[in-house]
């Protein structure tokens, strides 16, 4: 039923309204193509600020933007809320929850989800944060455990509810542990005067020897210093062995009693059925060539986190960050138009503009090529960049007001529990595009 | 475990953080009482703007305010997220989901929920809107049905998804039908260019002969005129006979095919177990005397929607609106302090300051005693009053920005579907305090 396109233009189907998919669709505006964008949600998610939703500093709508609103008045464009179940490359068609859809060019921009590296027990008990529903669920878990701690008569019984262990010291783990530490430092005594600050513990764990290992030595060191000053116990070079929902165990024998293990130790690509083993690279990503074409296919592409751009020039591949997806989306738009016109394509080259992470109030680390700085000015830079990148004028205003309010009051956010915490059933596979 | 109060002051337990409960707790500040406030949610809900959450004009956090934040720094005050299961008036104790709690004075401010008047089939299929989770669920239903309509090839198949029937033409039904009509008039062609405005229908139904029957004749007439000008088909004097999820049938034989029946035709009090039949008045409310004391009890009170203040002076009782709950909460605080000091109590007298309803852009009706006005100035009055009453400076600012943005763009709100629509299981009883 989805084959009635508006025009006779080539059909470009984009799966996923993340950074890559949105940028690609934007760059196909007013071109002679018929664009169909698919996502399981009706909004684009600004993932870099998701941790603030999880700790209740921002509401979900501040970092989400309606896809339909973004493409209002756009010609030769359609959007469908759907999940892709299977791709039939031989028939140039995809099977979705809203029926079969034909394509001339297919672009998978489905992103990534949390990688528990096959440990079903950890997957069952640890909390992920790769989508807005997951971030809201994490918030409910954190707040409900504080509420439960209130009901426990002894410190021993309160301990697991007040102990937070973040596994994975990349930007997500660093930002989230900083944010939870600030919840303890600035908010706990106001919202929960019956609880003691000293009873609430925050751990940040990584099996690598340092935090923010993808950033400069300087950034890594300073970030750890900031975290420790805020009262986060940083455990590097430590490997998680087991977590059963009550106790997390590390190699070497150390154990921590906790109800709150938050897992940001890795991601894996979200790929629908229909690809062969040979088309996969490390981390369930699709192997792509220099123009983001999936190995062995002519008209199927993958961009962003779901694509593995390993090449001779880049043996380690590209990092799973927004700028890669954005640049690939923009670049692929041109190449698709070249392919349609039988013109030669241009190879993709990543322009690394640096990276940054915030740790807390007045504390951030920024690497811009050779320029590296940390502290208050880095924090201002971080805020400025994120406000600029955030989609939608209303969202920029609302986030700015929230940040200003938080900065003045030391007590921003609403910390609402709209839906109570639920345990996500653990599935064997999750072939779902992530918005 | 909940008996360890901070002080030897009399224990006042307030169930429900709605308008009445919050006002009562506010007025017991710095008094010689120990206050425990209980609600199933950790936020107070500003119900008058809930319909804007349902249609995606406002986000939930704009009309919700954290209870903990509201009482920061407050002495002799505690808050618990809990549901009250049973009240044991003989033991001065309540059974809750977080354990038993003793009281010296108990105040039920549990509010009301949707009344389906015993029709289980309608309860199963019609959509209620009496809490934030219900409003968000209604939003998901509305938006998902628009999305589904897109997939239907014929007008006949699209019709039930694009037909909205609101049952109950009180303020909620009027405001919601106006809001859905504006969604059609201003947003549909932008967000869903594949759908025709003429295909989307909005009906407002009531078995009474007019809309807003609690307001003046003038307000009622003008509201109906506004609605009809906006394209709402108003069906008064019409009684619903049956709704099976596909077709709604009315007495007299008329039928409308629709997937969207929104039920605001009545409310009933939310009362925990532990009361006898003789203590109930019409609409599952608790019979209360002139000081809001529940019939037959010395130290148990009910205020707001859950209380029926029928008396010789007021044979019809008081309307279930916020000002009644607020005035009763404020008044009861004084009377509880009188009772503690063995002073005479003062009877409650409702000061009716009028009522208002908004229908849409530039359109509202206001009755202030003998002063009645409608249209643009009424609309400004409505907005001003609601901004003033809304709790929290941040909420006021965010709602004002949203309204300003909507007014300028004719296309406010984000219309996010965070959680997909779910059908609520129909229970026999719902003994739950509503925030």
User: Three-state SS across A349-397?
Assistant: CCCCCCEEEEEECCEEEEEECCEEEECHHHHHHHHHHHHHHCCCHHHHH
At residue B313 the predicted structure's pLDDT band, cuts being 50, 70 and 90, is: low
Name which residue leads in pLDDT, B330 or A1: B330
Residues of A in contact with B99 (CB under 8 A): 151
pLDDT over 60 at B422, yes or no: yes
CB contact under 8 A, B60 and A59: yes
- With tokens 């529903």, the residue in question is A133
Instruction: Please judge whether B61 and A398 are an interchain contact, meaning their C-beta atoms are less than 8 angstroms apart.
Output: no
Measured in residues, chain B has a length of: 435
Which residue in the set A43, A151, A191 is minimally distant from B416, CB to CB?
A: A43
User: In this complex, is the C-beta atom of B387 within 8 Å of any C-beta atom belonging to chain A?
Assistant: no
Residue B346 has pLDDT above 60, yes or no: yes
Query: CA A132 to CA A42: how far, in whole Å?
Result: 12
B64 touches chain A (CB under 8 A): yes
Spell out which residues of chain A touch residue B397, defining contact as CB-CB under 8 Å.
Answer: 401
B42–A411 CB contact, under 8 Å: no
B370 CB neighbour count, 10 Å cutoff: 7
Higher pLDDT, A319 or B180: B180
Predicted local distance difference test score (pLDDT) of residue B324: 95
Q: Do A98 and B143 touch (CB under 8 A)?
A: no
CB contact under 8 A, A61 and B398: no
The residue in chain B having the minimum alpha-carbon distance to the alpha carbon of residue A41 is B417
Compare A1 and B274 and report the one with higher pLDDT: B274
C-beta separation of B299 from B104 below 8 A? yes
For an interface test with B, the pick among A38, A40, A45, A81 (most B C-beta atoms closer than 10 Å) comes out as A81
Q: What is the pLDDT of residues B360-400, one digit of tens each?
A: 999 999 999 899 999 999 999 999 999 999 988 888 888 89
Candidates A60, A64, A405; nearest CB to B394: A405
Whether residue A435 is predicted with pLDDT greater than 50 in this model: the reply is: no
Answer for the pair A49, A386: CB distance below 8 angstroms, yes or no: yes
- B99·A143 Cβ contact <8 A: no
Q: For chain B, how are helix, strand and coil distributed in percent, rounded to 5?
A: 35, 25, 40
Of chain B, the percentage scoring pLDDT greater than 90 comes to 84
pLDDT band for A347, please (50, 70, 90 cuts): very high
- Which of A80, A194, A401 lies at the smallest CB-CB distance from B398? A401
**What confidence score (pLDDT) does residue A429 get?**
47
Cβ of B41 under 8 Å from any chain A Cβ?
A: yes
pLDDT digits (tens, 9 = 90+) for A192-215: 999 999 999 999 999 999 999 999
Interface mutation vs chain A, best among B3, B141, B398, B402, most A CBs within 10 Å = B398
Least confident of A328-332, B242-246, B314-318: B314-318
For all residues of chain A together, what is the average pLDDT?
Answer: 93
Candidates A183, A193, A392, A402, partner chain B, best to mutate (most B CBs within 10 A) = A193
Task: Identify the pLDDT of residue B412.
Answer: 79
Q: Which of A78, A194, A414 sits opposite B66 (nearest CB)?
A: A414
Residue of B nearest to A44 (CA): B416
Determine, for residues A414 and B80 on separate chains, whether the beta-carbon distance falls below 8 Å.
Answer: no
Element containing residue B22 per DSSP (H, E): helix B19-27
Residues of chain B with C-beta less than 8 angstroms from the C-beta of A73:
190
Please tell me the distance in Å from A193's CA to the nearest CA on chain B. Answer: 8
CB contact under 8 A, B191 and A411: no
Question: In this predicted structure, what is the pLDDT of residue B391?
Answer: 86
The per-residue pLDDT for A405 is: 85
Task: Please say if the pLDDT value at position A434 is more than 60.
Answer: no
Q: Do B401 and A402 touch (CB under 8 A)?
A: no
Q: pLDDT at position B393, please?
A: 85
Q: Is the pLDDT of residue B434 over 70?
A: no
A335 to chain B, closest Cα gap in Å: 29
B405 touches chain A (CB under 8 A): yes
| C-alpha A426 chain-centroid distance | 19
CB proximity B80 to A under 8 Å: yes
- pLDDT at residue B314 is higher than 80: no
**Separation in Å, CA of B271 to nearest CA in chain A:** 22
B72 and A191 within 8 Å at the Cβ level: the answer is yes
Q: Would you say B283 and B268 are in contact if contact means Cβ atoms under 8 Å apart?
A: yes
Chain B residues with CB under 8 Å of A59 CB are 59-61
Q: What is the pLDDT of residue A312?
A: 65
Which residue among A175, A194, A246, A434 is the active-site one? A175
Residues 6+ apart with CB under 8 A from B23: B325, B326, B329, B330, B333
Transcribe B295-355 into DSSP letters: TT-SSEEE-GGGEE---SS-TT---SSHHHHHHHHHHHHHHHHHHHTTPPP---------E
Contacts B417 to A, Cβ<8 Å? 41-43, 81
Paired tokens of B248: 């709604």
Contact A401 B394 (CB under 8 A): yes
What integer is the mean pLDDT of B203-230?
Answer: 97
pLDDT of residue B411: 82
pLDDT band at A408 (very low <50, low <70, confident <90, very high): confident
pLDDT confidence of residue A333:
98
pLDDT band at B6 (very low <50, low <70, confident <90, very high): low
Query: Which of the four pLDDT bands, split at 50, 70 and 90, describes residue B312?
Result: low
Task: Work out the mean pLDDT of chain B and round it to a whole number.
Answer: 93
Question: Is A396 an 8 Å CB contact of chain B?
Answer: no
Using 50, 70 and 90 to split pLDDT, how confident is the model at B176?
very high
Q: Is the pLDDT of residue B1 over 80?
A: no
CB neighbours of A82 closer than 8 A, spacing ≥ 6? A38, A39, A40, A96, A97, A98
Would you list the DSSP string of A128-183? P-SSHHHHHHHHHHHHHHHHHHHH-SSHHHHGGGSEEEEE--SHHHHHHHHHHHHI
For residue A247, the distance in angstroms to the closest alpha carbon of chain B comes to: 24
Nearest chain A residue to B415 by CA distance is A66
**Whether residue B429 has pLDDT greater than 50:** no
Mean pLDDT confidence for A300-328: 87
pLDDT of residue A16: 98
pTM of the predicted model over 0.90: yes
Q: Verify whether the Cβ–Cβ distance A60 to B192 is below 8 Å.
A: no
From chain A, the residues in CB contact with B411 under 8 A are 69, 72
Mean pLDDT throughout A202-230?
97
pLDDT at B179: 96
pLDDT at A272 over 60: yes
> In this model, does residue A428 exceed pLDDT 60?
no
Cα(A215)–Cα(A382) distance, integer angstroms: 15
Q: Tell me, what's the pLDDT at B309?
A: 76
Marked catalytic residue, from B175, B217, B241, B290: B175
Is A42–B416 a contact, with Cβ atoms under 8 angstroms apart?
yes
Residues of B in contact with A136 (CB under 8 A): 418
Question: Could B418 and A2 be called an inter-chain contact, meaning their C-beta atoms sit closer than 8 Å?
Answer: no
Parallel/antiparallel/unpaired status of strands B34-39 and B11-15: parallel
Contact between residue B41 and residue B17 where contact means Cβ atoms under 8 Å apart: yes
What pLDDT does residue A6 have? 57
Q: What is the distance between the alpha carbons of residues A304 and A317, in angstroms, rounded to a whole number?
A: 11
pLDDT tops 90 at residue A258: yes
Q: Is B182 annotated in the active site?
A: no
Q: Which of A2, A72, A191 sits opposite B69 (nearest CB)?
A: A191
Note whether A137 and A129 are within 8 A (CB). no
């Amino acid at each position: 039923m989805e084959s009635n396109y508006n025009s006779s233009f080539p059909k470009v189907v984009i799966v996923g309204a993340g950074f890559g998919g949105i940028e690609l669709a934007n760059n196909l505006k007013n071109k002679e193509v018929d664009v169909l964008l698919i996502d399981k949600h009706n909004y684009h998610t600004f993932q870099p600020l998701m941790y603030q939703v999880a700790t209740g500093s921002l509401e979900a709508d501040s970092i989400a933007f309606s896809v339909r609103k973004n493409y209002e008045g756009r010609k030769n464009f359609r959007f469908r809320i759907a999940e892709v179940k299977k791709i039939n490359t031989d028939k140039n068609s995809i099977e979705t929850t809203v029926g079969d859809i034909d394509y001339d060019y297919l672009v998978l921009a489905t992103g990534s989800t949390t990688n528990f590296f096959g440990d079903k027990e950890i997957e069952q008990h640890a909390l992920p944060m790769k989508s807005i529903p997951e971030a809201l669920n994490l918030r409910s878990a954190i707040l409900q455990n504080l509420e439960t701690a209130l009901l426990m008569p002894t410190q021993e019984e309160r301990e697991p509810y007040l102990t937070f262990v973040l596994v994975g010291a990349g930007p997500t783990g660093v930002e989230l542990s900083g944010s939870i530490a600030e919840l303890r430092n600035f908010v706990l005594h106001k919202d929960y005067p019956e609880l003691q600050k000293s009873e609430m513990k925050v751990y940040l764990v990584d099996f690598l020897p340092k935090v923010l290992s993808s950033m400069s030595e300087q950034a890594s060191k300073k970030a750890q210093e900031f975290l420790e000053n805020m009262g986060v116990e940083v455990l590097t070079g430590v490997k998680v062995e087991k977590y059963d929902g009550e106790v997390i165990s590390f190699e070497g024998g150390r154990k921590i009693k906790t109800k709150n293990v938050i897992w940001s130790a890795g991601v894996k690509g979200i790929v629908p059925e229909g690809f062969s083993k040979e088309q996969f690279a490390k981390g369930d990503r699709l192997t792509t060539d220099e123009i983001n074409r999936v190995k062995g296919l002519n008209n199927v592409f993958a961009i962003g986190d779901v694509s593995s751009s390993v090449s001779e020039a880049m043996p380690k591949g590209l990092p799973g960050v927004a700028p890669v997806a954005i640049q690939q989306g923009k670049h692929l738009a041109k190449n698709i138009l070249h392919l349609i016109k039988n013109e030669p394509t241009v190879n993709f080259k990543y322009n690394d503009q640096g990276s940054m992470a915030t740790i807390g109030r007045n504390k951030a680390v920024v690497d811009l090529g050779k320029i590296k700085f940390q502290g208050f000015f880095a924090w201002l830079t971080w805020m400025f960049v994120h406000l600029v990148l955030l989609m939608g004028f209303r969202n920029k205003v609302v986030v700015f007001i929230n940040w200003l309010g938080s900065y003045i009051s030391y007590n921003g956010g609403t910390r609402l529990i709209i839906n109570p915490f639920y345990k996500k059933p653990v599935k064997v596979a999750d072939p779902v595009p992530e918005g």
